Structure 1
Protein backbone atom coordinates (compact mmCIF):
# COMPACT_ATOMS: atom_id res chain seq x y z
CA UNK A 1 0.00 0.00 0.00
CA UNK A 2 2.81 2.43 0.86
CA UNK A 3 4.52 1.67 -2.46
CA UNK A 4 1.29 2.46 -4.32
CA UNK A 5 0.92 5.80 -2.51
CA UNK A 6 4.55 6.64 -3.24
CA UNK A 7 4.02 5.88 -6.94
CA UNK A 8 0.92 8.05 -7.00
CA UNK A 9 2.80 10.97 -5.43
CA UNK A 10 5.68 10.50 -7.87
CA UNK A 11 3.32 10.48 -10.87
CA UNK A 12 1.44 13.52 -9.55
CA UNK A 13 4.74 15.39 -9.19
CA UNK A 14 5.81 14.41 -12.69
CA UNK A 15 2.45 15.49 -14.15
CA UNK A 16 2.74 18.81 -12.33
CA UNK A 17 6.26 19.40 -13.68
CA UNK A 18 5.17 18.60 -17.26
CA UNK A 19 2.14 20.88 -16.97
CA UNK A 20 4.25 23.71 -15.54
CA UNK A 21 6.79 23.38 -18.37
CA UNK A 22 4.02 23.46 -20.96
CA UNK A 23 2.71 26.72 -19.48
CA UNK A 24 6.21 28.18 -19.38
CA UNK A 25 6.66 27.40 -23.07
CA UNK A 26 3.20 28.77 -23.86
CA UNK A 27 4.10 32.00 -22.05
CA UNK A 28 5.91 33.05 -25.19
CA UNK A 29 8.65 35.51 -25.89
CA UNK A 30 9.26 37.87 -22.98
CA UNK A 31 11.44 40.24 -24.97
CA UNK A 32 9.75 43.67 -25.04
CA UNK A 33 7.93 44.22 -28.30
CA UNK A 34 8.31 47.45 -30.26
CA UNK A 35 5.37 49.84 -30.24
CA UNK A 36 4.36 51.58 -33.46
CA UNK A 37 3.37 55.13 -32.48
CA UNK A 38 2.90 56.41 -36.04
CA UNK A 39 0.12 58.95 -36.21
CA UNK A 40 0.65 60.34 -32.72
CA UNK A 41 2.03 63.85 -32.32
CA UNK A 42 5.78 63.57 -31.65
CA UNK A 43 6.65 64.67 -28.12
CA UNK A 44 10.32 65.39 -28.72
CA UNK A 45 13.32 64.61 -26.57
CA UNK A 46 12.22 66.46 -23.42
CA UNK A 47 10.19 64.13 -21.24
CA UNK A 48 6.75 65.41 -20.27
CA UNK A 49 5.75 65.24 -16.62
CA UNK A 50 2.05 64.80 -17.41
CA UNK A 51 0.24 62.55 -19.85
CA UNK A 52 -0.34 64.62 -23.01
CA UNK A 53 -2.55 61.90 -24.53
CA UNK A 54 -5.32 61.66 -21.90
CA UNK A 55 -8.07 62.17 -24.50
CA UNK A 56 -6.29 60.95 -27.63
CA UNK A 57 -8.24 58.02 -29.17
CA UNK A 58 -5.30 56.83 -31.26
CA UNK A 59 -3.08 56.80 -28.15
CA UNK A 60 -5.74 54.70 -26.40
CA UNK A 61 -5.71 52.17 -29.24
CA UNK A 62 -1.90 52.07 -29.38
CA UNK A 63 -1.69 51.83 -25.58
CA UNK A 64 -4.13 48.90 -25.48
CA UNK A 65 -2.05 47.00 -28.04
CA UNK A 66 1.25 47.88 -26.36
CA UNK A 67 -0.07 46.83 -22.95
CA UNK A 68 -1.31 43.52 -24.36
CA UNK A 69 2.04 42.77 -26.00
CA UNK A 70 4.32 43.90 -23.20
CA UNK A 71 2.57 44.30 -19.85
CA UNK A 72 -0.30 41.80 -19.72
CA UNK A 73 2.06 38.90 -18.95
CA UNK A 74 2.48 40.27 -15.44
CA UNK A 75 -0.22 42.91 -14.97
CA UNK A 76 -3.03 40.83 -16.50
CA UNK A 77 -5.12 40.73 -19.65
CA UNK A 78 -7.17 43.92 -19.97
CA UNK A 79 -5.10 45.21 -17.01
CA UNK A 80 -6.94 42.91 -14.60
CA UNK A 81 -4.13 41.62 -12.42
CA UNK A 82 -4.11 38.02 -11.32
CA UNK A 83 -1.92 38.89 -8.37
CA UNK A 84 1.53 38.48 -9.93
CA UNK A 85 2.05 42.23 -10.24
CA UNK A 86 0.12 45.30 -9.11
CA UNK A 87 -3.31 45.96 -10.56
CA UNK A 88 -2.61 49.07 -12.61
CA UNK A 89 -6.30 49.95 -12.85
CA UNK A 90 -5.88 51.14 -9.27
CA UNK A 91 -2.82 53.29 -9.97
CA UNK A 92 -4.48 56.68 -9.68
CA UNK A 93 -7.82 55.67 -8.17
CA UNK A 94 -7.33 57.90 -5.14
CA UNK A 95 -7.02 60.98 -7.36
CA UNK A 96 -10.40 60.50 -9.00
CA UNK A 97 -12.39 60.88 -5.78
CA UNK A 98 -10.78 64.12 -4.67
CA UNK A 99 -13.29 66.97 -4.47
CA UNK A 100 -10.90 69.92 -4.71
CA UNK A 101 -9.92 70.27 -8.38
CA UNK A 102 -6.42 71.62 -7.60
CA UNK A 103 -5.70 68.61 -5.37
CA UNK A 104 -7.10 66.25 -8.00
CA UNK A 105 -4.82 67.74 -10.68
CA UNK A 106 -1.78 67.63 -8.37
CA UNK A 107 -2.50 64.00 -7.48
CA UNK A 108 -2.91 63.08 -11.15
CA UNK A 109 0.38 64.78 -12.02
CA UNK A 110 2.12 62.92 -9.19
CA UNK A 111 0.73 59.57 -10.43
CA UNK A 112 1.86 60.39 -13.99
CA UNK A 113 5.37 61.02 -12.66
CA UNK A 114 5.30 57.77 -10.64
CA UNK A 115 4.13 55.81 -13.70
CA UNK A 116 6.81 57.32 -15.91
CA UNK A 117 9.56 56.66 -13.36
CA UNK A 118 8.39 53.05 -13.02
CA UNK A 119 8.13 52.26 -16.73
CA UNK A 120 11.37 54.00 -17.61
CA UNK A 121 13.47 52.62 -14.77
CA UNK A 122 11.71 49.36 -13.93
CA UNK A 123 11.39 47.93 -10.45
CA UNK A 124 14.36 46.32 -8.71
CA UNK A 125 14.53 45.32 -5.04
CA UNK A 126 17.53 43.68 -3.41
CA UNK A 127 19.01 43.00 -6.84
CA UNK A 128 15.91 41.15 -8.07
CA UNK A 129 14.20 42.58 -11.15
CA UNK A 130 10.45 42.73 -10.58
CA UNK A 131 9.81 44.80 -13.69
CA UNK A 132 12.27 45.49 -16.50
CA UNK A 133 13.21 48.98 -17.54
CA UNK A 134 11.58 50.06 -20.79
CA UNK A 135 13.91 53.04 -21.19
CA UNK A 136 15.35 52.83 -24.70
CA UNK A 137 12.78 50.20 -25.70
CA UNK A 138 9.68 52.41 -25.76
CA UNK A 139 9.63 56.02 -26.80
CA UNK A 140 7.79 58.64 -24.79
CA UNK A 141 4.74 58.40 -27.05
CA UNK A 142 4.45 54.64 -26.38
CA UNK A 143 4.76 55.08 -22.61
CA UNK A 144 2.09 57.78 -22.45
CA UNK A 145 -0.15 55.70 -24.73
CA UNK A 146 0.03 52.85 -22.22
CA UNK A 147 -0.87 55.29 -19.43
CA UNK A 148 -3.84 56.50 -21.51
CA UNK A 149 -5.00 52.90 -21.84
CA UNK A 150 -4.64 52.30 -18.11
CA UNK A 151 -6.70 55.39 -17.37
CA UNK A 152 -9.47 53.95 -19.58
CA UNK A 153 -9.38 50.76 -17.48
CA UNK A 154 -9.43 52.58 -14.12
CA UNK A 155 -11.20 50.70 -11.37
CA UNK A 156 -13.13 53.16 -9.22
CA UNK A 157 -14.54 50.83 -6.54
Structure 2
Protein backbone atom coordinates (compact mmCIF):
# COMPACT_ATOMS: atom_id res chain seq x y z
CA UNK A 1 0.00 0.00 0.00
CA UNK A 2 1.48 3.39 -0.93
CA UNK A 3 2.35 5.76 1.87
CA UNK A 4 2.45 9.57 1.80
CA UNK A 5 6.21 9.28 2.13
CA UNK A 6 6.66 7.93 -1.37
CA UNK A 7 7.21 10.63 -4.02
CA UNK A 8 4.74 11.05 -6.86
CA UNK A 9 6.01 11.94 -10.32
CA UNK A 10 4.08 14.89 -11.74
CA UNK A 11 4.02 16.12 -15.36
CA UNK A 12 7.24 17.87 -16.38
CA UNK A 13 7.29 21.52 -17.49
CA UNK A 14 7.49 21.81 -21.32
CA UNK A 15 10.82 23.71 -21.32
CA UNK A 16 12.79 21.05 -19.41
CA UNK A 17 15.86 19.97 -21.35
CA UNK A 18 16.10 16.47 -22.86
CA UNK A 19 18.98 15.64 -20.52
CA UNK A 20 16.94 16.57 -17.45
CA UNK A 21 14.02 14.47 -18.74
CA UNK A 22 16.29 11.43 -19.17
CA UNK A 23 17.78 11.88 -15.69
CA UNK A 24 14.39 12.36 -14.04
CA UNK A 25 12.99 9.35 -15.92
CA UNK A 26 15.88 7.18 -14.71
CA UNK A 27 15.34 8.47 -11.18
CA UNK A 28 11.62 7.73 -11.42
CA UNK A 29 12.35 4.08 -12.18
CA UNK A 30 14.16 3.80 -8.85
CA UNK A 31 11.27 5.24 -6.83
CA UNK A 32 8.64 3.18 -5.05
CA UNK A 33 5.04 3.39 -6.18
CA UNK A 34 3.69 6.96 -6.05
CA UNK A 35 1.46 8.10 -3.22
CA UNK A 36 -2.12 9.00 -3.84
CA UNK A 37 -3.98 11.75 -2.01
CA UNK A 38 -6.85 9.28 -1.55
CA UNK A 39 -4.57 7.22 0.73
CA UNK A 40 -4.21 10.13 3.15
CA UNK A 41 -6.47 10.04 6.16
CA UNK A 42 -7.15 12.49 8.94
CA UNK A 43 -5.79 11.33 12.28
CA UNK A 44 -8.19 9.94 14.86
CA UNK A 45 -7.61 12.52 17.61
CA UNK A 46 -9.91 14.48 19.89
CA UNK A 47 -9.42 18.16 19.03
CA UNK A 48 -12.06 19.42 21.47
CA UNK A 49 -9.32 20.75 23.75
CA UNK A 50 -8.05 23.18 21.11
CA UNK A 51 -9.15 26.79 21.44
CA UNK A 52 -11.16 28.12 18.52
CA UNK A 53 -9.10 30.24 16.15
CA UNK A 54 -10.03 33.92 16.20
CA UNK A 55 -8.37 34.30 12.77
CA UNK A 56 -8.28 31.07 10.74
CA UNK A 57 -5.90 32.69 8.24
CA UNK A 58 -3.31 33.70 10.82
CA UNK A 59 0.30 33.29 9.75
CA UNK A 60 1.49 32.86 13.33
CA UNK A 61 1.02 29.71 15.42
CA UNK A 62 -1.73 30.60 17.92
CA UNK A 63 -1.04 27.49 20.05
CA UNK A 64 2.69 28.03 20.68
CA UNK A 65 3.52 26.76 24.17
CA UNK A 66 -0.03 25.46 24.82
CA UNK A 67 0.42 22.08 26.60
CA UNK A 68 -2.95 20.72 25.43
CA UNK A 69 -2.23 21.66 21.79
CA UNK A 70 1.22 20.06 22.05
CA UNK A 71 -0.30 16.79 23.32
CA UNK A 72 -2.94 16.79 20.56
CA UNK A 73 -0.28 17.69 17.99
CA UNK A 74 1.95 14.84 19.14
CA UNK A 75 -0.87 12.34 18.75
CA UNK A 76 -1.79 13.69 15.29
CA UNK A 77 1.86 13.84 14.19
CA UNK A 78 2.45 10.22 15.13
CA UNK A 79 -0.63 9.13 13.17
CA UNK A 80 0.00 11.17 10.01
CA UNK A 81 3.57 12.46 9.81
CA UNK A 82 5.75 9.94 11.63
CA UNK A 83 5.84 7.49 8.74
CA UNK A 84 8.05 10.00 6.88
CA UNK A 85 9.37 12.37 9.55
CA UNK A 86 10.02 9.88 12.37
CA UNK A 87 8.09 8.94 15.49
CA UNK A 88 7.76 11.84 17.93
CA UNK A 89 9.44 14.06 15.29
CA UNK A 90 12.77 12.30 15.77
CA UNK A 91 13.88 12.31 12.16
CA UNK A 92 16.96 10.19 12.81
CA UNK A 93 17.07 7.64 9.96
CA UNK A 94 13.82 8.83 8.44
CA UNK A 95 13.47 9.64 4.73
CA UNK A 96 12.09 13.16 5.24
CA UNK A 97 13.57 16.32 6.79
CA UNK A 98 13.72 16.99 10.51
CA UNK A 99 10.79 19.36 11.06
CA UNK A 100 12.22 20.50 14.40
CA UNK A 101 14.73 22.58 12.44
CA UNK A 102 12.08 24.88 10.92
CA UNK A 103 12.48 28.24 12.64
CA UNK A 104 15.15 27.01 15.03
CA UNK A 105 17.55 29.77 13.99
CA UNK A 106 14.97 32.38 15.09
CA UNK A 107 16.02 31.77 18.70
CA UNK A 108 19.38 33.40 17.93
CA UNK A 109 17.81 36.67 16.79
CA UNK A 110 18.36 39.20 19.57
CA UNK A 111 15.88 41.90 18.51
CA UNK A 112 12.39 40.86 19.76
CA UNK A 113 10.48 42.29 16.79
CA UNK A 114 12.78 40.55 14.29
CA UNK A 115 12.63 37.29 16.25
CA UNK A 116 8.80 37.46 16.15
CA UNK A 117 8.89 38.10 12.39
CA UNK A 118 11.29 35.18 11.95
CA UNK A 119 8.99 32.86 13.96
CA UNK A 120 5.96 34.05 12.01
CA UNK A 121 7.74 33.37 8.70
CA UNK A 122 8.68 29.86 9.91
CA UNK A 123 5.08 29.25 11.05
CA UNK A 124 3.71 30.40 7.70
CA UNK A 125 6.19 28.19 5.83
CA UNK A 126 5.20 25.18 7.97
CA UNK A 127 1.46 25.67 7.48
CA UNK A 128 1.78 26.44 3.78
CA UNK A 129 3.94 23.38 3.16
CA UNK A 130 1.57 21.08 5.05
CA UNK A 131 -1.45 22.45 3.19
CA UNK A 132 0.10 22.55 -0.30
CA UNK A 133 2.62 19.73 -0.06
CA UNK A 134 6.14 19.84 -1.45
CA UNK A 135 7.01 19.44 -5.14
CA UNK A 136 10.57 19.64 -6.49
CA UNK A 137 11.42 19.16 -10.18
CA UNK A 138 7.98 17.70 -10.83
CA UNK A 139 8.32 15.13 -8.06
CA UNK A 140 5.88 15.26 -5.17
CA UNK A 141 7.95 14.78 -2.03
CA UNK A 142 5.06 15.47 0.33
CA UNK A 143 1.37 15.33 -0.49
CA UNK A 144 -0.93 18.27 0.25
CA UNK A 145 -2.90 17.86 3.48
CA UNK A 146 -5.35 20.76 2.98
CA UNK A 147 -8.87 19.47 3.44
CA UNK A 148 -7.58 16.46 5.38
CA UNK A 149 -5.98 18.24 8.35
CA UNK A 150 -7.84 21.17 9.86
CA UNK A 151 -6.00 24.44 10.38
CA UNK A 152 -6.28 23.89 14.14
CA UNK A 153 -4.66 20.48 13.83
CA UNK A 154 -1.84 21.85 11.63
CA UNK A 155 -1.06 24.45 14.31
CA UNK A 156 -1.23 21.79 17.04
CA UNK A 157 1.25 19.66 15.06
CA UNK A 158 3.48 22.72 14.64
CA UNK A 159 3.32 23.31 18.41
CA UNK A 160 4.35 19.74 19.07
CA UNK A 161 7.15 19.75 16.49
CA UNK A 162 8.75 22.93 17.80
CA UNK A 163 8.58 21.64 21.38
CA UNK A 164 9.90 18.15 20.60
CA UNK A 165 13.32 17.58 22.13
CA UNK A 166 16.33 17.11 19.92
CA UNK A 167 18.24 14.05 20.94
CA UNK A 168 21.75 13.09 19.94
CA UNK A 169 22.21 9.77 18.20
CA UNK A 170 25.37 7.66 17.95
Tell me the TM-score range normalised by the shorter chain. 0.7 to 0.9
* Pair 1:31-2:31 in alignment: no
State the Cα RMSD in Å.
Answer: 2.0
Cα distance 1:155–1:91, how it changes in 2: closer, same or farther (>3 A)? farther
Is 1:61 the counterpart of 2:71? The answer is yes
Following superposition, which runs of at least 4 residues in structure 1 exceed 6 angstroms of deviation? none
Instruction: List gaps (5 residues or longer) in structure 1.
Output: 1-29
So what's the TM-score if we normalise by structure 1? 0.74
Note the alpha carbon deviations across 1:64-111, whole angstroms, 9 max, x for none. 001000001111112111241111111111101111111111100100
Q: Is the 8 A contact 1:90 1:156 kept in 2?
A: no
Q: Report how far residue 119 of structure 1 moved.
A: 0.5
- 2:148 aligned counterpart, secondary structure: coil
For residues 32-62 of structure 1, give each alpha carbon's deviation from its aligned partner in whole angstroms, at most 9, with x where no partner exists: 3334311212226731110000121111110
Q: Which residue of 2 aligns with 1:144?
A: 155
Does structure 1 residue 103 correspond to structure 2 residue 103?
no
Larger Rg: 1
Q: Counterparts of 1:67 and 1:36 in 2: how far apart (Å)? A: 13
Residue of structure 2 in register with 1:10 after alignment? none
The count of residues paired between Structure 1 and Structure 2 equals 128
Gap regions ≥5 residues in structure 2: 1-38
Q: Could you state the TM-score of these two structures normalised by the residue count of structure 2?
A: 0.69
- Contact kept, 8 Å, 2:72 with 2:156, in 1: the verdict is yes
Greater share of residues in helix? 1
